[in-house]
Structure 1
């Protein structure tokens, strides 16, 4: 937002805190099942942390949980970054350089070219 709309008012501190709070609540709710159902097991010589899903949770629920986790944690942020960077790149590279399009600037460039062409023929 700061690159594309630099003069647009930013979010208020209350709105920013709400957005941050929602992000934390979603993160905790996504991680809670693995934390709740995890247990440690000792396999000599090391201790391993395992997720022991309940029997009634079933294979399909566990699979849908893992797929939704992949989508929400990996694919959705990747898609948001792709769209955002594409939009920023299109805005920055597709726009004209400030001052370059003015007629005065073009006249200065032509005058510099004339001067440089005239001085190349001189022998010092």
Structure 2
């Protein structure tokens, strides 16, 4: 059995929390600065228009929610297309670099969250 001191565990947990904060601030920055540009790349999307109508009054939180909606459309385009909420051609023409950035930010956040939950369950 491997013995790990509480100092090492605390260092790992604090490192994960700091990385999560960095990713969250990055997501907030992208949402605040580039959500209009990102949504303009999906011109035929009913989901984007509905999200704008719902979350337009909320400043930063609304922009983050709209960004999450776009990420879900990029992650699961067939489900959204089947429901008539997005055009597959718009998703295919979405800029690759922007798509990779959005998926990386959201994926890394959930991976870090999973690591934090895993450490918690390992400690019990």
Q: TM-score normalised to the size of structure 1?
A: 0.36
Instruction: Give the number of the structure with larger relative contact order, counting CA–CA contacts within 8 Å between residues 6 or more apart.
Output: 2
User: TM-score, length-normalised on structure 2?
Assistant: 0.36
Task: Return the structure number with greater helix share.
Answer: 2
> Hey, which of these two has a bigger chunk of strand by percent?
1
- Computing the radius of gyration over CA atoms, which structure comes out larger, 1 or 2? 1
